[in-house]
Structure 1
Amino acid sequence: MFRRTFIRSAIAATAVLALAACGGGEDPLSSGDGAGGGSAPDKVDSLTVGSANFAESQVLAEIYAQALEAKGIKVNRKLNIGARELYMAAIQDKSVDLLPEYTGATLVYFKKDATENEAEAVYKALPDALPDGLEVLNKSEAADEDAIVVTQETAKKYSLKSIGDLKAVSKDMVAGGGPEFKTRTAGLAGMKDKYGVEFKEFKTLDAGGPLSLKALKDNTIQVTQFFTTQSAIKDNNLVVLEDPEHIHLPNNIVPLIRTDHKSPEVADTLNAVQAKLTTSALTDLVKRAEGGSESAAAVAKDWLSQNPLT
């Protein structure tokens, strides 16, 4: 954890007490600072930014961090924490104060029975789903959706167009991917529940990474999960299966932040980033970061230099 001055601690404590006293306050979407509500400090001197264990999350975290540093705010980094279950635990136990997140994935993480499946409805449902002390700021138009993918050869062999088409053949197939793909609603659990799709085996590989891609191309596995901003889908001519039952919710990029670190300056800076991000730009950033020749920090610095926030 980073050090706090006595004054900073007093402000945070006052904010927490005020939140407990007011019990929610005004309409959480009415302030223009994003969803969430509750009391926030007037000024933040430092905070800790975290990220998941994949390139896109690390690039977004670096963009947030460098944008805040340009405002004179000290930023500590805890990147590459791991899967959602790990980094959500980190922000709830105050090990980190800010994360790049995704609207749909965040909603179903905290509200398993969420029924919203349109982008704006998902975003507006977040305030009531988030635990006390957490908020989201403005969502970006940039989005990265989960995608169930197969090769062109597999799609042609089994006449696959949607996830439901797998039901008749999946018991002869092997699925593979990150360990979370096996248990999440956006993965095998949702495929079984919504489409009746079950596989004969699951191979634990990586989340939309080179191991999963190689296994798919080698036909060691026949189905995996990638993400729509990954160039690997287009570069390898993979087929994204349609999802009419919406196990994959809209996933607009959104900052998830602790209320006790959401000063007006922090919120305005991050919302300015959100307004500049686009899906096409994010796809390019991911390709550069996944290539291995550029670090997440370098890719983020270049994007900020081309997209000044003021």
Structure 2
Amino acid sequence: MDKLLQMIINQHHQLLVALGQHLALSFMALLIAALIAIPLAMIFKDHRRLGEIALQVAGVFQTIPSLALLGLLIPLVGIGNPPALIALVAYAIMPIYQNTYTGLTTIDPNLEEAAIAMGLSRWMRLRRLELPMALPLIFSGIRIALVMTIGTATLAALIGAGGLGTYIVLGIEQNNNQELLIGAVFSAILALVFSVLLKVMGKSKRNLKIGFGLILLACIGWGGQKTYQHFFAQPQAEIVIAGKMGSEPEILINMYKELIQAKDPSIKIVLKPNFGGTTFLYQALKRNQIDIYPEFTGTVLKAFAKAKTTPQNPQAAYRKAATYLKTQQLTYLKPMAYQNGYDLAVTPEVANQYSLKTISDLASVSDQLTAAFDPDFSHQKDGYLGLKSAYHLQIGSVRSLEPSLRYQAIAQKRVQIVDGYTTDPEIRQFHLVVLKDDQHFFPPYQGAPLMKTSFAKQHPTVVKQLNKLSGRITMAEMQTMNYRVTVKHEKAKTVARQYLLKHHLISAKQK
């Protein structure tokens, strides 16, 4: 608890930003859903057949897994807030529409007849009789939608929309319970607090008016701020730097930020750590949704260029990767010194039991073992798909797990094989045995910043600053930095900055 409180104090600014992002996304989705669902229910209340069809259509969206819906939306509307907002609206419509429709269609027919006999028009009946009587159910639907939206909005972090889900993703990736608790607890508190406020609003007309007034004031204030920023505030250069899942990409993108701002502190850098898998980032870069991300030569050759053969010489592999990327109007800067290649690892007990030293040794017994692989590794040709063919592996059972979870699985002896990277700190932490790639299936993996060629031409200073990492960072240094972030739970920003200071790549005066 002390560590959790200290983390909240130390990260109060980042936490407030995440809270703001989470609230803005959730309430925008709720507002749009209400503006769609309530009028629809009002229209269809006298057309029961159409009303039931609309109810079924809204219910279909509830059956689609949220991650699948986000994945379907990304090719259509890109990444960030748009797909997250659309998905949340789709989920929020059902409870609001269902409760509003039910409230409007279950009013006592005698009351309806009395209102008609008094000469009230359809609009007057709706305003004076039907909506007031249906209000408790309508607010109940909005409360359900709000709680669901706040909870589901945590997934927005997986597609770069930020929010409290960022803490949950980081907690899972770095096996950090404090990060997990911050994301989960604050999401629950938000849902509880606003659920209670909506319940209070629905109790009387006075509370309803006060509540709507406060919401209106908040919307005006938010809209005014956005308008000022768009039309009157001095535009500021912004560079978006993203990273794959895990501690190492987060360390690297923090180094990129420090190096760029060392030369020009006025440039606004937006970091998006744990942004997604390889293909996700690559497509985001090509769509101009991010500007820079660290990529590895072997991944470029296998996953993007679809090369049947790859050079074993690191320099030759880099030249071939850079040449291919040039045809895609992308610029690949000079690589760092260390290689972060794939590997397969087993526990010492399994290595001794089956006399495993190489991946070839694994082939004859692989059907007796179970494995946990990173999602990227499981589905890429430079991962298990290609390795399976090259070594004739037939692993008995393969699970896809996020990076930190697969190491927990092997440490708890739930699986016998995991994939990993040569710089992973867990290899040392759990005393794992890395099997030798005796057929040299894995190509060289040197990391370097990847960006669009147009961006590189527009930002020559950025290119020059990032090239300062060329030939830097040994494997031992990267392993140590990963260990500090993943195992010791130090901040990636701190670890990155300390490395740059130690090697005199930035000045201590830079903040």
TM-score for the superposition, normalised by structure 1 = 0.80
Structure 2: segments with no counterpart, 5+ residues: 1-78, 80-235, 507-511
- Is structure 2 residue 318 aligned with structure 1 residue 126? no
**Structure 2 Cα separation of the partners of residues 128 and 276 of structure 1:** 22
Cα deviation, 1:56-92, whole Å, max 9, x if unaligned, reads: 0011011001110111133222221111121111111
SS of the aligned residue for 1:96 comes to coil
Q: Which residue of 1 aligns with 2:384?
A: 188
Q: Which residue of 1 aligns with 2:73?
A: none
**Structure 1 Cα separation of the partners of residues 375 and 501 of structure 2:** 37
Runs of 4+ in 1 over 6 A off after TM superposition: none
- Is structure 2 residue 349 aligned with structure 1 residue 153? yes
**Structure 2 Cα separation of the partners of residues 120 and 97 of structure 1:** 25
Greater relative contact order: 1 or 2 (C-alpha under 8 angstroms, separation 6 or more)? 1
**Structure 2 Cα separation of the partners of residues 133 and 45 of structure 1:** 22
Q: Which residue of 2 aligns with 1:231?
A: 425
1:288, distance to aligned residue in structure 2 (A): 1.0
1:164, distance to aligned residue in structure 2 (A): 1.4
Determine which of 238, 241, 252 is the counterpart of 2:446. Answer: 252
- Is structure 2 residue 340 aligned with structure 1 residue 141? no
**Structure 2 Cα separation of the partners of residues 71 and 58 of structure 1:** 21
- Is structure 2 residue 460 aligned with structure 1 residue 264? yes
TM-score for the superposition, normalised by structure 2 = 0.50
Cα deviation, 1:92-134, whole Å, max 9, x if unaligned, reads: 1111111112111122121112412221111010133225221
2:298, 2:382 within 8 Å by CA — same for their partners in 1?
no
Determine which of 231, 237, 251 is the counterpart of 1:59. Answer: 251
1:276, 1:307 within 8 Å by CA — same for their partners in 2?
no
- Is structure 2 residue 481 aligned with structure 1 residue 285? yes
Q: How does 1:208-223 map to 2 (within 5 A)?
A: 209=404, 211-223=405-417
1:303, distance to aligned residue in structure 2 (A): 1.6
1:289, 1:299 within 8 Å by CA — same for their partners in 2?
yes
**Structure 2 Cα separation of the partners of residues 96 and 296 of structure 1:** 20
Cα deviation, 1:9-56, whole Å, max 9, x if unaligned, reads: xxxxxxxxxxxxxxxxxxxxxxxxxxxxxxxxxxx9542111111110
**Structure 2 Cα separation of the partners of residues 186 and 145 of structure 1:** 10
Q: How does 1:21-32 map to 2 (within 5 A)?
A: none
Letter in 2 for 1:283: Q
Q: Which residue of 2 aligns with 1:240?
A: 434
- Is structure 2 residue 487 aligned with structure 1 residue 295? no
Determine which of 386, 398, 404 is the counterpart of 1:202. Answer: 398
Tell me which structure has the larger Cα radius of gyration.
Answer: 2
Residues 145-154 or 214-223, more deviating: 214-223
1:188, 1:198 within 8 Å by CA — same for their partners in 2?
no
Letter in 2 for 1:123: Y
Determine which of 143, 158, 173 is the counterpart of 2:369. Answer: 173
**How many residue pairs were aligned?**
266
**Structure 1 Cα separation of the partners of residues 251 and 368 of structure 2:** 38
2:245, 2:277 within 8 Å by CA — same for their partners in 1?
yes
2:425, 2:486 within 8 Å by CA — same for their partners in 1?
no
**Structure 2 Cα separation of the partners of residues 289 and 58 of structure 1:** 10
Q: Kindly report the root-mean-square deviation, in angstroms, between the aligned alpha carbons of the 2 structures.
A: 1.9
Same amino acid, percent of matched pairs:
28
SS of the aligned residue for 1:79 comes to strand
1:52, 1:83 within 8 Å by CA — same for their partners in 2?
yes
SS of the aligned residue for 1:148 comes to strand
Structure 1: segments with no counterpart, 5+ residues: 2-43
1:221, distance to aligned residue in structure 2 (A): 1.0
- Flag the 1:64–1:287 CA change in 2: closer, same or farther, 3 A: same
Letter in 2 for 1:120: Q
More helix by share: 2
2:367, 2:394 within 8 Å by CA — same for their partners in 1?
yes
1:229, 1:279 within 8 Å by CA — same for their partners in 2?
yes
SS of the aligned residue for 1:245 comes to coil
